[in-house]
Amino acid sequence: MVSDRLKQVIFKRLYKELGNAEIIPYKDSVWFIDRENCYWYFQLSKEGCLFWRYSFFPSFFSIFSLGQSEFEPIISSWVEEVLNHKVSTTKVSLYQSWYLVEEVLNHKVETTKKYHDMQPWYLEKVLKNTEQNESNG
């Protein structure tokens, strides 16, 4: 078990190390990708499965002397904090092709729809839901 104090130190380090990563929704996932270096860190599926990059995280956590079974819950908690979305499972990804990362980075809007009669009550509902989520987070 990792102490809360160590966990907070790790969180600060993750924010610093992954500060250049963009959070990009793509298809049914959300990706953490450093666009400049074309380097992915996480992929979170809509079902809550978190894939993490094997070539980065074991060495990152080695400075804290933590192994995979100890750091997986920490990265899950950190991603939950960043995205305000529950992580249900974590899986290591030994290989993620560069062309898939390029596909995510180059993804454009596929279709647009025009709404003529957006009801004010619906907009109020969306705004209230957003406010509730912010006050709960």
Give the pLDDT band of residue 75 (cuts 50, 70, 90). very high
Q: What integer pLDDT is reported at residue 113 of this predicted model? A: 43
In a domain, 41, yes or no: yes
Q: Which of 18-27, 60-69, 93-102, 118-127 has the highest mean pLDDT?
A: 60-69
Q: How many domains does the chain have?
A: 1
Q: Residues, the chain, total?
A: 137
**What's the DSSP call for residue 79?**
H
In a domain, 117, yes or no: no
- DSSP 3-state assignment of 41? strand
Tokens 């809509």 belong to 46
- DSSP 3-state assignment of 39? strand
| pTM of this structure | 0.71
In a domain, 101, yes or no: yes
Domain that holds residue 106: 4-111
Least confident of 17-21, 69-73, 132-136: 132-136
In a domain, 118, yes or no: no
Phi, psi of 44 (to 5 degrees): -110, 120
